[in-house]
Amino acid sequence: MKIYKLSAPFEIARKISFQKQKSYTRFIVRLSIAATSISVAAIILTLSIVNGFQESISNKVFHFWGHIRIASVSGAPLDNIGDSLLHNNPNIASITPFVNQSSVLAYGQDIEGVMVKGLPTNNNIPFLIKGKGIQNNNDSNRNSIVISDALATKLKIPLDSSIRLYFLNSGGIQQRRMKVVGMYHSGIEEYDRQFVMVDLKMLQQLNYDSKQIEGYSIKLKDGVSIDTVNDEIQKVLPKNWVSTSIAEYYPQIFDWINVQTVNRDVTITILLIIAIVNLLTCLFILMLERVNMIGTLTALGATHGFIRKVFLYQASFICWTGIAIGTIIGVGFSILQQNFGWIQLDETAYFIKTLPVKLYPIQVGWVIIGTAVISYLSFLIPTLWIKRIAPAKAIKFD
């Protein structure tokens, strides 16, 4: 006849885990809680940093170029009438015609090869930090230009100064005198040292055609699948037009972003393995230290299941305490970095100045549940050793 209560394993585990007097058990328990906390916190921070990094870099590219680009299959100019085909798509936020043309920028005795991007007047200039965008107040404003702060620093070009652009058209060179009305800073060096922005009509007149463009830059609404909308757009375009996601235009950037997912998965796997090995080692040590107790309980009639519950409860105390502390630390550091931006990065290498973080509650929930499930499955391995302990030998064990 069993004389113990159902809560007896829980009470025994609680007393040996959180005893106040100094002991080897107390040290092992605290060490295991600390190791589990560090692993959980590191996993949460890894997720939030990779999320923030991927989103920040992707948004920079999308903000500069849009999510989708429409162009001719052969690269020939398009008639500026295509936007009417897309206005009925509810997933599209904006449609911007553009023209790109190579040029040489001259200021004083200095020259620099650039790519001139023609945009409609009153269009929002991406990453504008100084001055203003190109306004459509009068014809003279068509000679305004927005350059990057990197280019301005390199050539020592102040705001409101005059520069010259030289274009090669039909075998001849055409010059346009421009006024620097604004400066932008994207943080992506490839863009900042290469692109300047002018009025779209100026480039169209330069090419003797006021209607033709190179293509359309399309920005989508938040949460929309780029591939799905890209397929929808392609269905309504003329046969010689093609719709392409911006990730296909700049694969080197997006491939680099996707590599971070691999790094994230490898890091999380290593951290989980460390946490599991730590908990398994801790439970084995605690069981070895309590061999006398195991023998005594067995001699008093306790079943293997009863003794296993004692150590599973003890492991649960360690696991859940470590998970709780680690979650608080991981979420806390993520929120602090998100609000205060204490950690800074080399923008030339990472395209961003401040370490970005993006925390999704569902990911935190999966970290908590996943760590707990994996830990419980691992706890069953050392408890199988209890069956091998003979009561007579265990009581003598010291």
Q: Say whether both 297 and 358 belong to one domain.
A: yes
In a domain, 236, yes or no: no
- Whether 3 shows a pLDDT value over 50: the answer reads no
Taking the C-alpha atoms of residue 335 and residue 14, their distance in angstroms, rounded to an integer, is 33
How confident is the model at residue 126, as a pLDDT?
87
In a domain, 69, yes or no: no
Structure tokens at 119: 């945009």
Q: Say whether both 204 and 264 belong to one domain.
A: no
How confident is the model at residue 212, as a pLDDT?
80
How confident is the model at residue 297, as a pLDDT?
67
In a domain, 369, yes or no: yes
Q: Say whether both 313 and 376 belong to one domain.
A: yes
Give 140-150 pLDDT, tens digit per residue: 445 889 999 99
Taking the C-alpha atoms of residue 210 and residue 198, their distance in angstroms, rounded to an integer, is 15
Any bridge partners for residue 216, and if so which? 70, 97
Structure tokens at 108: 């004083």
Q: Say whether both 154 and 268 belong to one domain.
A: no
How confident is the model at residue 145, as a pLDDT?
93
pLDDT band at 1 (very low <50, low <70, confident <90, very high): very low
Residues 6+ apart with CB under 8 A from 66: 94, 96, 217, 218, 219, 246
Structure tokens at 186: 């994207």
Q: Say whether both 27 and 152 belong to one domain.
A: no
**Residue 152 near residue 185 (C-beta atoms within 8 A):** no
Burial (CB count <10 Å: 0-12, 13-18, 19+), residue 327: buried
Q: Say whether both 54 and 106 belong to one domain.
A: no
- Is 43 or 250 the better-scoring residue by pLDDT? 43
- Whether 295 shows a pLDDT value over 70: the answer reads no
Range of the domain at 324: 8-60+254-396
Taking the C-alpha atoms of residue 115 and residue 193, their distance in angstroms, rounded to an integer, is 9
How confident is the model at residue 278, as a pLDDT?
81
In a domain, 292, yes or no: yes
Give 67-80 pLDDT, tens digit per residue: 999 988 887 888 76
In a domain, 1, yes or no: no
Exposure string for 57-68, b = 16+ CB within 10 A, e = fewer: bbebbbebbbbb
Q: Which of 192, 219, 246 is the last residue of a domain?
A: 219
Q: Say whether both 287 and 201 belong to one domain.
A: no
- Whether 390 shows a pLDDT value over 60: the answer reads no
User: CB-hemisphere CA count at 13 Å for 240?
Assistant: 7
How confident is the model at residue 245, as a pLDDT?
92
Burial (CB count <10 Å: 0-12, 13-18, 19+), residue 158: exposed
How confident is the model at residue 2, as a pLDDT?
47
Taking the C-alpha atoms of residue 261 and residue 54, their distance in angstroms, rounded to an integer, is 9
Phi first, then psi, for residue 188 (nearest 5°) are -95, 110
Give the chain's domain count.
2
pLDDT band at 4 (very low <50, low <70, confident <90, very high): very low
Closest CA to 180 of 141, 228, 216: 141
Q: Mean pLDDT, to the nearest integer, of 232-261?
A: 88
What pTM was estimated for this model as a whole? 0.80
- Looking at every residue in the chain, the average pLDDT score rounds to 83
In a domain, 86, yes or no: no
In a domain, 203, yes or no: yes
Using CA atoms of 12, 14, 16, 17 in order, give the dihedral in degrees to the nearest 10.
150
pLDDT band at 348 (very low <50, low <70, confident <90, very high): confident
How confident is the model at residue 396, as a pLDDT?
55
Provide the percentage of residues in the chain whose pLDDT is more than 70.
Answer: 82
Q: Say whether both 264 and 313 belong to one domain.
A: yes
Q: Which of 167, 193, 219 is the last residue of a domain?
A: 219
Q: Say whether both 52 and 120 belong to one domain.
A: no
Q: Say whether both 152 and 213 belong to one domain.
A: yes
User: CB-hemisphere CA count at 13 Å for 80?
Assistant: 15
In a domain, 79, yes or no: no
- Whether 132 shows a pLDDT value over 90: the answer reads no
Q: Say whether both 98 and 210 belong to one domain.
A: yes
Structure tokens at 28: 């092992």
- Is 40 or 10 the better-scoring residue by pLDDT? 40
Residues 6+ apart with CB under 8 A from 353: 187, 344, 345, 347
Q: Say whether both 206 and 103 belong to one domain.
A: yes
- Whether 394 shows a pLDDT value over 60: the answer reads no
